[in-house]
Structure formats: structure tokens, C-alpha cells
Amino acid sequence: MTINRRLGVLHGVRVLEIGHFVAAPFAARILADLGADVIKVEPPGGDPVRQWGEQIDGKSLWWSVHGRNKRCITLNLKTERAQSIVHALAAQCDVLIENFRPGQIDKLGLSPETLRRDRPDLIIAHISGYGQSGPYRDRAAFGAIGEAIGGLRHLTNHRPGASDLPPVRAGVSIGDSISGLYAVIGILAALWRREGRDGDRSAHTIDVALTESVLSLMEGMLPEYGALAKIKQPTGGGIATAAPSDAYPTADGGWVLIAANSEPLFAKLMGLMGREELVGAQGFRGNQERVENVAAMDALIADWTRSYGTSALIDKLTQADIPNSKVYTAADCASDPQYLHRGMIQSVDDPAFDGPVTHVGIVPRIDGENGVRWPGPPLGAHTREVLHELLAMNDAAIDALRADGVV
Amino acid sequence: MTINRRLGVLHGVRVLEIGHFVAAPFAARILADLGADVIKVEPPGGDPVRQWGEQIDGKSLWWSVHGRNKRCITLNLKTERAQSIVHALAAQCDVLIENFRPGQIDKLGLSPETLRRDRPDLIIAHISGYGQSGPYRDRAAFGAIGEAIGGLRHLTNHRPGASDLPPVRAGVSIGDSISGLYAVIGILAALWRREGRDGDRSAHTIDVALTESVLSLMEGMLPEYGALAKIKQPTGGGIATAAPSDAYPTADGGWVLIAANSEPLFAKLMGLMGREELVGAQGFRGNQERVENVAAMDALIADWTRSYGTSALIDKLTQADIPNSKVYTAADCASDPQYLHRGMIQSVDDPAFDGPVTHVGIVPRIDGENGVRWPGPPLGAHTREVLHELLAMNDAAIDALRADGVV
């Protein structure tokens, strides 16, 4: 059969999102980006992200991206009628994704058992700070704390002794995003088990913890500690096992990444700096000596880079074929020729702002497709459409629900 | 039908990995963790990660985790016979994943077109620094540079003016891992499109770029720049829109995260510090004033936290019900009761080290399963088994390939 590719490879999958903040909504957005029909349930007050970050007329710009490609309905889940509607909707969905505190959906009458009474093969994905079981399961999930418990915060710092400032956080909720990506993986794997070759036609449950999602990226940290009692330490802007490789300052206050840790690249860099005598000199002989001598060597390189403006330095390094890059800001990303060529910077018309909003393109790119269907919708924009289409409710019935504060 | 759950939900999916370093092998490991039969092709010298990080007798501890649950075969892809073997293996695989520079597999006689001659519905996932098209496609992919171009490095830094040190890098290859997760999402979505309800029985191609994977996590950065020309700036250990929330120093040189940015939590914290007079005082009235006054306020809090050892401080904060956490090191992760309860810290017997190696458990957890099947195998450990099982080669034929340097 022919698929309408413009609809995305997940066309035909329907997802009910009872999510808020970042992790579950981000996961559902990835599914929506790939073509799933995502129905996002919000309380009548809306997901708080609608007011997060920079706003225009009280409307968050981030929401335009975070809510895109979904259908948004409101339901006051404290009412029994709304809970019945969730049951009826879930019966027509392949997947339910939620990120309440563990156990909270059961208290709302939406336990997996009751939901699966109407839809026995419903795939349910839970995202939480610490997981659905264990002694910490009821603790509040703060992204920053989850990243710390996952081991990431300790490693995101200058080398021990280099600074009195605290370890830093990436300026984004990276732990939430990573757990969202893992939830998508769990959902899609479960869909394949349910419906793929030799599918089992059964329900599956995904239990993603923010802490565990971060911990799973820590590479050699656990095995090295287990075998050698070695506690992995941060390395600032550098890499523990290769030097020089770091961000170096420029005359205009910018930073340029230089990766010149192979012997030929190091020799090229020293040549460019007019310091050929350091090639093969003590403290610079081979990667291992340079790693041990990294502070002194980086200071030498920084003295040199500081005498050039950012673009002059990049030109010099590029001409010498030494891997380098500006440390991109939002402005650099938005004007990068490669991103523009690949449709990764898109102008999406958003009626909420009476004009185009800059969106990131769709990742992962499948079969070359990269089209955003629509921006984050206004609160409750699809309540009537969804209740009519999926539950065959007429306008009068929906008006009654609205009058009673159910939707 | 009944599934043997111990085999994982992806039991029945076969993946050919022609990957090296981090991104493609990490993606394939996630698939293997979930039960796919992953056949990893290595050159006779092996994937360099076999020697990365801390080692015992020349064997990387990280490899025990990075290579786990896969079958490892060697093939010298510069020989035509090895290329024919890849064709024959791919014909029996659902998915091929690779992270050579774009175009390199074509030069090895392994173009998508020729591979699909024998397996018309082969799903192919490419991971590269900048993607398979566009002006930068041929540039070398360095993880650190990809993270910078994705916008992450700029945001992983102290607040502007707070430090002369460069922006930092997480001590792990986070850009590679994130692109690996996206590749898994692409592969599973394509499998569902191929074989799920209304499946199209067709090939699909996934094109994941490290830079784009990072950029996709930048939340409001692009829309805020596009609409307001606002360039998102780093916020050190804090959060741009909430205070106090940061890591604070302790008497024994540790760091404790404190998230007390709501009014009741801030009042509790000031009470604990004996500074009740600051609640409602100028510069501390509400989150907005605290965000503007964050440097002075954090200095006050740090003066107080520095007078306690790490565990005494944590006890005090926990008793007062103020969200907090130690900044976990490897040692903290390995002994955390929640991780231990959920099987996230596992002892996996590894013959390469004559004993157990500490592994992270499997993420995402599906249907409660969390068992590692086997640790990263020795180089070529499964060459004979795979060539026999999939291509019906006998021992003499395999010995001949070995004698000729093909395997």
C-alpha cells in the first residue's frame, strides 16, 4: 500500500498524553513530529509550560515548539465525568503516556487495570523522577536533582581545584529530555512487540525514571568505579584522555573550540602559533604528556587565541585544516548554512503570534521528511473536535460539559 | 502467543551494526538491551572503544557495558569477500546501522541501493556529525564540536561575567548518546511503519546528525531568538527563571543541590538559616526579585552551607522538607538504595576480567525486565557462530577466510 509520507511514519498510531512540564510532553511531541495522532489532555488552567520562558502577550514562545503537532483538549480530571471521558478516549488509543507522581493516576480513577478493561492491549508509559517502585518513588521529581543523582552534574564542572564556583547545569532540562527520548523508545519497542512480526497483541508497560535515564549515559563511570574504585572526575571544557581539546578565548570575548590532539594536528597548531620548538619538547611529547601538562599547555594556547578576534581565529585554524568551531549561540544556530540547508531552522506560521515562529526541524529525519504540521495549539483548541470525532458527542453534550466545568 | 520475556520485547529483530566509537554502537546497544539480535562488525583491529578509558590488562572496562548483549564478528571491509559477506548478512537483517563519514559505505561497495538488492525492505540508519546532505556533510564529526554547534556548550557555563574559565563539557559524550537515542527512535518507528498495522513492507532511511540531535533539545532558544532577538545565556548551576536553585558548597568540599524557589520553601530555608527577616525583605520578595538578586542571595546561602559537612547539611534540609540532593559521584550512584532496589546497579560476570563488572541496568524498563544477557564480548568472539548460523559456512570455509585476512 502507499503511505502518504507527508503524514509521517507513525501515521495511524494514536497517543493519549496526560503530561505536563517537560518529559512526557516532549516524548509525545517526538511521536507527534513523526506523525502520530497525539491528544494532549490539560487541566482547564493549561500546562504551565504555556507560560514558561520568554512570552509575548502572556504566550510562551517555547510552547509554539513544545506543543506542536498535537491536538489539545481540556479535562478537569478531578471530576468523574472527565475520568469517564479519559477511559473512553484511551479505549481508542494505542498508547497512554503520563508523568504524574507515581500512583497519582490511580487516585484519579485512571489505574492501568481500569484503563485496560476497555482497551486490553493499551501500552502505558510512565515517566517519573525515580521510577514506579522503590524507596524513593514518592519523592518529588526536580529535573536538576535528577541530573545530580544521575551523575551528570558532578561531571559538568571544571577540573578539581580549577574553580570555586559550583558545577554547572546545561541551560536546558536535559534530564527531562533524555527520559522523554527513552520513553519514546519504550513505546515504539512495545508497539513493535504488540503488532510487528510475531506480535503478541498484548499490553506493555514502560517505566522510565529521570535519574536512571541520566545514569545510563555515564559510559565507563560505573565499571571503572566497581573494578578500580576510581571516581570519575570532571575535566572542564576538555576531554580526560586527549589534549589539546577545549574552548579557547578570543579577543572579542568569544570562545573557539580547538581539537588538535593528534600528533599532526598538534604540530600544525604549534606551527600556526610560531611555537614549533614545543613539538617534541618535554611536556608536549605525545597525547599522554600533553594530558598531564594540560593546564600549562592550555594557558599557552589561550594566550595566542586571545590575540585574535573570533572570526579571524576561525579563518586561521580552518585554513590550516585544524578542527575548530565557534561556540554557537542562538544567533549562530539560526543562521548556520548547514541547518538552513537541511530544514532544521523553520519558520512556522503561528496564529497565536500573528506570524511566523522559528522552530527547530524534526529529529530524527526519516525518508527525508522534515515538515512541521502545526504549532502548539491554544488551550482546548481541539476539545470539541476530539470529543465529536472519537466519542461521537454532539455540540449540546459538549456545551453541557463546558457549562459544568468538566472540559 | 507467549513471548519469552527474558528475551526482551525486541526479540526477533536482527540488526547489523557497522559502527565504531560511540553513537552507532550506543544505539545498537540499546536495541540489544531490549532483546534485538545485534551483529556488530569490527575491523580485525577492533573498535577503538575496546581500549578507551580505564583498562585492566589492556581491556577497557567501559567496553564491558558498551559492547554488551551483542554478537561481535570481524570483517576486513577493504576486501571484496568481506563486502560480499556484509551483503549476505544484511539480507538476513531487518536493520543496518552505521556511522562512517557520509558516503564512506558507498565507497566500500555497501551503498543502500546494492544492499537493498538482496533485502528490499532493509531499514538503514546513518549517524554522522552533520547529516547525509548539505555543505558540511563531509566535515569530520567530533562530538565536542557537534555539541558546540548544537548550542549546548554555550549554555553549559557560569553566568556571563562570573568566570574567566571556558564553558564546560559534561564528562561524557552526551551529543553522541543523544544522537544514538534518536537513531533508535527512527529505527523503531520505521519498523512499525514496515510491519505494524497497515504496514507498508518497505525500506526506510534514517539520517541522524549529532548537531541536529543536540539542537532539538534547546527548548525555547530558537523561537525566543527568532521573535525577540534574545540570545539565551548560561545560568551556571542555577535556573534562569527560579531562585534559589543551585548547588551550594559544604565544609568538606562537597556540593549540595537545594531547590527552594517556591515561597513556602524559601521561607523554610530562611528559617533554617536563622534569617527569617529576609522573607519578604527587598530583593527576596517573590521569585522574580530573587532571580534578579541571585548572586547576592546565593552568596548568603553558601556562607551558611559552608558551615556544615555534606551529610549534616542534607539531614538538616531533609528534616525541614526542603528538596535537596548531594551531587552524586560514581561512589554515590553505586551505593544508592533506589538504584540498587531497581536493579540499576548490576554485577555482570565478565570472563575478560575473571569476575564481575559493575553495569548500569537497562533503560527503558519495559514490563519490569532488567537483565543484562552478557558483557561486551572479545574481538571476533562470534565470527564463527554467525557465519555458520546465518550463511551456513563450514569450519573449513571460515578457516580459509581467516587465513586470507578477510575475517
pLDDT in tens, A109-153: 999 999 999 999 999 999 999 999 999 999 887 888 999 999 999
pLDDT tens-digit profile of A190-222? Answer: 999 999 998 999 999 999 999 999 999 999 999
B348, containing H or E segment: strand B345-350
Residues of B in contact with A142 (CB under 8 A): 259, 323
Do A241 and B169 lie within an 8 Å CB cutoff? no
Q: Is B57 on the interface with A (CB under 8 A)?
A: no
Asked whether the predicted pLDDT for residue A65 surpasses 50, the reply is: yes
Residue in A38, A35, A43 with CA at minimum distance from that of residue A67: A38
B60 touches chain A (CB under 8 A): yes
- Which chain B residue's Cα is nearest to A50? B220
Phi, psi of A387 (to 5 degrees): -65, -35
Give the mean pLDDT of A86-107: 97
B116-141 per-residue burial string, b: 16 or more CB within 10 A, e: under 16: beebeebbbbbbbbbbbebebbebeb
Q: Is pLDDT above 80 for B404?
A: yes
CB–CB contact A185 B181 (8 Å) = yes
d(CA A49, CA A43): 13
Q: Is the pLDDT of residue A1 over 60?
A: no
What per-residue confidence (pLDDT) applies to A6?
A: 62
Mean predicted confidence (pLDDT) in B48-64? 95
Question: In B, which residues are within 8 Å of A184 by CB distance?
Answer: 185
Superfamily in which the B245-326 domain is placed by CATH = formyl-coa transferase, domain 3 (3.30.1540.10)
Cα A59 to the center of its chain, rounded Å: 21
Q: What is the pLDDT, as a whole number, of residue B47? A: 96
Specify whether the CB–CB gap between B159 and B237 falls below 8 A: no
B82, B407 contact by CB (below 8 A): yes
Which string of b and e fits A243-270 if b means at least 16 CB within 10 Å? bbbbbbbbeeebbbbbbbbeeebbbbbb
Q: Is the pLDDT of residue B63 over 70?
A: yes
Cα separation, A390 vs A386, whole angstroms: 6
| Cα A337–Cα A359–Cα B167 angle in degrees, nearest 5 | 65
Tell me the pairing of strands A205-209 and B365-366. Answer: antiparallel
A396 contacts chain B (CB < 8 A): no
What's the whole-number mean pLDDT along residues A351-369?
96
User: Among this protein's residues, is A176 annotated catalytic?
Assistant: yes
Query: CB–CB of B53/A215 below 8 Å?
Result: no
> What count of other Cβ atoms lies within 10 Å of the Cβ of residue A283?
12
> How much of chain B, in percent, has pLDDT values that exceed 90?
92
* Beta-carbon separation of A217 and B174 below 8 A: yes
User: Using one digit for the tens of pLDDT, what is the confidence trace for A312-356?
Assistant: 999 999 999 999 999 999 999 999 999 999 999 999 999 999 999
| CA-wise closest residue to B128 among B180, B77, B82, B79 | B180
Q: What are the DSSP calls for A113-155, one per residue?
A: HHHHHH-TT-EEEEEESS-SSSTTTTS---HHHHHHHTTHHHH
- Contact between A254 and B154 under an 8 Å Cβ cutoff? The reply is no
Q: Are B220 and B137 in contact (CB under 8 A)?
A: no
pLDDT higher than threshold 80 for residue A5: no
Query: Chain A contacts of B165, Cβ < 8 Å?
Result: 158, 162-163, 236-237
Structure confidence at residue B7 as a pLDDT band (50, 70, 90): confident
Using a CB–CB cutoff of 8 Å, tell me whether A216 touches chain B. Answer: yes
Instruction: Answer yes or no: is pLDDT of A4 > 60.
Output: no
CB contacts under 8 A, B 242-271 vs A, are: 245-249, 255, 257, 259
- How confident is the model at residue A143, as a pLDDT? 87
Compute the CA torsion angle A85, A86, A92, A97 (nearest 10 deg): 170
- What percentage of chain B reaches a pLDDT higher than 70? 99
Q: Report d(CA A402, CA B172) in Å as an integer.
A: 50
B5-217+340-403 has CATH 3.40.50.10540 classification: yes
| Structure confidence at residue B1 as a pLDDT band (50, 70, 90) | very low
When the pLDDT of each residue in chain B is averaged and rounded to a whole number, the result is 95
Report the gap between the CA of B88 and the closest CA in chain A (Å): 21
Say what the pLDDT of residue B127 is: 98
Task: Indicate if the pLDDT at residue B369 is higher than 90.
Answer: no
What is residue A3's predicted lDDT score, i.e. its pLDDT? 37
Give the closest of B162, B259, B327 to A154, CB-based: B327
Cβ of A383 under 8 Å from any chain B Cβ?
no
How many whole angstroms separate alpha carbon A309 and alpha carbon A312?
A: 5
Q: Does A400 touch chain B (CB under 8 A)?
A: no
Render pLDDT for A235-286 as a digit per residue (tens, 0 to 9).
999 998 889 999 999 999 999 999 999 999 999 999 999 999 999 999 999 9
Contacts with B339 from chain A: Cβ below 8 Å: 211-212, 215
At residue A90, the pLDDT reads 98
The chain-wide mean pLDDT, for chain A, equals: 95
Q: Is A240 on the interface with B (CB under 8 A)?
A: yes
User: Given an 8 Å threshold on Cβ–Cβ distance, is B246 in contact with A166?
Assistant: yes
Please tell me if residue A23 touches chain B, with a CB cutoff of 8 Å. Answer: no
Tell me how close the Cα of B110 comes to any Cα of chain A, in angstroms. 19
Q: Does 3.40.50.10540 match the CATH number of domain A5-217+341-403? A: yes
Q: Cell digits for A166?
A: 559550583
Residue of A4 and B92 predicted with greater confidence: B92
CA distance A241 to A224: 15
Gap between the Cα atoms of A376 and A398, Å rounded: 23
Q: What percent of chain A has pLDDT over 90?
A: 92
Average pLDDT over residues B205-214: 98
Q: What's the confidence (pLDDT) of residue A241?
A: 84
Do B188 and A183 count as a contact with CB atoms less than 8 A apart?
A: no
Q: Which of A176, A246, A298, A350 is catalytic?
A: A176
Contact A317, A326 (CB under 8 A): no
Decide: helix, strand or coil at residue B141.
Answer: coil
Residues of A in contact with B326 (CB under 8 A): 148
Q: Determine the average pLDDT of the residues in B216-239.
A: 96
The reported pLDDT for the residue numbered B6 is: 62
Classify residue B11 as exposed, middle or buried by CB count within 10 Å of its CB (0-12, 13-18, 19+).
middle
Distance from CA of A262 to the nearest CA of B (A): 13
**Residues of B known to be catalytic:** 176
Are the Cβ atoms of B359 and A240 closer than 8 angstroms? Answer: no
Nearest chain B residue to A177, by CA:
B217
Spell out the domain ranges in chain A.
Answer: 5-217+341-403, 245-326
Out of B204, B360, B365, whose CB is closest to A367?
Answer: B204
Interface test mutation site (partner A, options B123, B130, B328, max chain A beta carbons within 10 A):
B328
